Amino acid sequence: MKYMILFVLHDTTKLSQVLNKWEEAGVSGVTVFASTGIGRLKAADMLREDLPLMPSLEDLIETPERFNRTLMTLVENDEMIDRVVEATEEVVGKLNDPYTGILAVLPLSRVYGLVQHNGS
Q: Domain 2-35+67-108's class? A: alpha beta
CA distances from 8 to 23, 85, 96, 112, 114 (A): 17, 12, 13, 24, 23
Splitting the chain (120 residues) into consecutive groups of 10 residues, what average pLDDT does each group show? 96 96 96 84 58 57 68 97 98 96 97 70
By the 8 A CB rule, do 37 and 68 touch?
A: yes
Give how far the C-alpha of residue 27 lies from the chain's centroid of Cα atoms, to the nearest Å.
14
Q: What is the pLDDT of residues 25-49, one digit of tens each?
A: 999 999 999 988 877 666 665 555 5
